[in-house]
Amino acid sequence: MRKNFARFSMLALALMLALSACGQPAATEAPATSAPSNEPFVFGMLYVGPYNDNGWSQAQYEGGLYVEKQLGAKMLYLDKVNPADRPGTTPDQLAEELVAKGAKLIIFSSDDMKDGASAFAKAHPEINVIMTSGDQVWSEGKNYVATPNMTNIMGRMEYGKMIAGCASALSSKTGQIGYLGPLINDETRRLAASAYLGAKHCWEKAGKNPADLKFKVDWVGFWFHIPGTTTDPVQISDNFYTTGYDVVISGIDNPVNLGEAQKQTKEGTPSFGLAYDYVAACEAAPDVCLGVPYFNWGPEYTKAIASAQDGSWKSQFVWLGPDWSNINNLDTSMVGFENGPALSADAAAAVKAFTAELAGGLNLWTGPLNLQDGSAYLADGEVATDQQVWYLPQLLEGMEGLSASK
């Protein structure tokens, strides 16, 4: 007993010594820097999902590779940055791991890391931060906090989603379109609404009765499935397809709906799906894929990182639409739409015409539009401001599904 106690005290003492060492301000990590200028610029990226998820995170990863190629920079990354996959960690802590490995700029590439990105930017004013999809440094936004070392970058995916909605409406036989929503927030509401606006436009343009179009959103609860915590997106897709919805648009980080569409088609009910986020996502199931609205992060990330490199960095809010001269130009367009093999030739022609209309200035975010509960959103002829689009408070009238958590 006494001997045990002696051992115990020694351990406790050792730990206290270690701790008191922590308390000393010195001995911070030697930043792996003061490097000669020919060493590559190192930037770090955090992905919310796996880097090869065939969706959001893979598009981010490809964006990082593009920067490496353009600038001769070096990317460090950590994927699956979410509390379910990396219990006990926080995004700001993981970002510090990348900084310890020499990263001079960190890209927090998911909405889920917003709090972590803000905390990190505040604690490390010397490290530049790109917070993807965020609005922290939008001076006209609702959550503005001046943060000189932070830039927000987002694509105007509203256009991609409108085209996706159009392709759905042109391909659906039943007139019932399902939208596989991730979690509910400003971004996901406005993107689901955009898909609806596109669907409605092309449905009516094809001469069909507006009353016959059904558009329903069902939410997963996160950007992808976390077993035991979120609803299963496979289940939601299956529910759509087995209840008459023959097209499901993915709004989540991967195209799991495509697998269910294949299953239904094999069983005799022709079904289709739209992927999301990643340019090559249709390859998962080309025979049922109508297309994919995707993000092309490379060029904007390159600009931002180049500015950090040459010292011209400026905190800014970037919300960029497609390059209308060619929305699929991977060197210039922030947002694109790639047709899927399952899109018929007629539909493809109509989608092309619609894209041309958008390029010519057609704005579907124009009144009269009501919110889901019937209250007025845009008066007749009124065009939505950026703030009205970004912070869409509810789904639109005519859409089924929850606008907010109950």
Partner 1 sequence: MLKARLKGLALQALAMALAFGAVSLILISAGASPLEAYQNMFFGSVGSTRKFAEVLVAFVPLLLATAGLLVTFSAGLWNIGVEGQVVMGAIVTTWVYRLFLESALPPALIISLAILGGMIGGAVWAALTGLLKTFGGVNEIFGGLGLNFVATAWTIYLIFGPWKRPGVASMSGTMPFPDEFSLPLLANLRISPWALALALIAIVIIYFLLQGTYFGLKLKAVGKNFRAAYLLGIPTWRYSLYSFLICGALAGAAGAVQVAAVYHRLIPSISSGYGYLGLMVAMLINYQAIWAIPVALLFAALNIGSIQLPIMMKLDSSLSGVLQGALVLFVLLMEGVRQKIVKRAP
Q: How far is the CB of 97 from partner 1 (least distance, A)?
A: 6
Kindly tell me which of 51 and 313 has the beta carbon lying closer to partner 1: 51
Token reading at 244:
């008459």
Q: Which residue's entry shows tokens 């005290």?
A: 9
Number of residues near partner 1 (by CB under 8 A): 58
Q: How far is the CB of 354 from partner 1 (least distance, A)?
A: 30
Kindly tell me which of 120 and 294 has the beta carbon lying closer to partner 1: 120
| Site for partner 1, residues 315 to 374, rule: CB under 8 A | none
Kindly tell me which of 20 and 209 has the beta carbon lying closer to partner 1: 20
Helix 298-310 to helix 56-71 angle (10° resolution) is: 50
Token reading at 121:
């930017």
Cα distances (Å, whole numbers) of residue 55 to 274, 280, 284: 12, 9, 11
Question: H/E element holding 116?
Answer: helix 114-123
Burial 227-242 (b: 16+ CB within 10 A, else e): eeebeebeebbbebbe
Q: Using the rule CB under 8 A, is 123 a contact of partner 1?
A: yes
Q: How far is the CB of 78 from partner 1 (least distance, A)?
A: 6
- Which range of residues in 161-169, 223-231, 234-242, 344-352 is near partner 1 by CB under 8 A? 223-231
Give me the count of residues in the chain: 406
- Which range of residues in 25-33, 234-242, 257-265, 290-298 is near partner 1 by CB under 8 A? 25-33
Kindly tell me which of 8 and 144 has the beta carbon lying closer to partner 1: 8
- Angstrom distance (rounded) from CA 99 to CA 186: 31
Sheet holding 214-219, edge to edge: 335-339, 289-295, 272-274, 247-250, 176-181, 214-219, 399-400
- Angstrom distance (rounded) from CA 107 to CA 301: 9
Q: How far is the CB of 83 from partner 1 (least distance, A)?
A: 5
- Angstrom distance (rounded) from CA 359 to CA 354: 9
347 burial via Cβ count (<10 Å: 0-12, 13-18, 19+): buried
| Site for partner 1, residues 203 to 222, rule: CB under 8 A | 219, 221-222
| Residue window 90-109: x/- pattern of binding to partner 1, with contact defined by CB under 8 A | x--xx-xxx-xx--------
The region, left, alpha or beta by phi > 0 then psi within -120 to 50, assigned to residue 119 is: alpha
Q: Using the rule CB under 8 A, is 17 a contact of partner 1?
A: no
Reduced to 3 states (helix: H, G, I; strand: E, B; else coil), residue 381 is coil
Would you give the distance in Å from CA 37 to the centre of its chain?
Answer: 34
| Site for partner 1, residues 271 to 310, rule: CB under 8 A | none
Q: Using the rule CB under 8 A, is 1 a contact of partner 1?
A: yes
Q: Using the rule CB under 8 A, is 60 a contact of partner 1?
A: no
Among 60, 128, 194, 230, binds partner 1 (CB under 8 A): 230
- Angstrom distance (rounded) from CA 195 to CA 347: 16
Kindly tell me which of 30 and 345 has the beta carbon lying closer to partner 1: 30
- Angstrom distance (rounded) from CA 362 to CA 355: 9
- Residues 354, 355, 357, 361: is their CA dihedral positive or negative? positive
Q: How far is the CB of 353 from partner 1 (least distance, A)?
A: 36
Q: Using the rule CB under 8 A, is 32 a contact of partner 1?
A: no
Q: How far is the CB of 303 from partner 1 (least distance, A)?
A: 26
Q: Using the rule CB under 8 A, is 87 a contact of partner 1?
A: yes
Q: How far is the CB of 206 from partner 1 (least distance, A)?
A: 34
Q: Using the rule CB under 8 A, is 226 a contact of partner 1?
A: yes
Residues 316 and 303 sit within 8 Å (Cβ to Cβ)? no
Among 19, 146, 211, 345, binds partner 1 (CB under 8 A): 19
Among 17, 29, 139, 361, binds partner 1 (CB under 8 A): 29
Among 70, 71, 156, 186, binds partner 1 (CB under 8 A): 186
Residue 373: partners with Cβ closer than 8 Å, 6 or more residues away: 394, 403
Q: Using the rule CB under 8 A, is 25 a contact of partner 1?
A: yes
Residues of this chain that bind partner 1 (CB under 8 A): 1, 4, 7-8, 11-12, 15, 18-19, 21-25, 27-29, 76-80, 82-84, 86-90, 93-94, 96-98, 100-101, 111-112, 114-115, 123, 183-186, 219, 221-222, 226, 228-230, 393, 402, 404-406
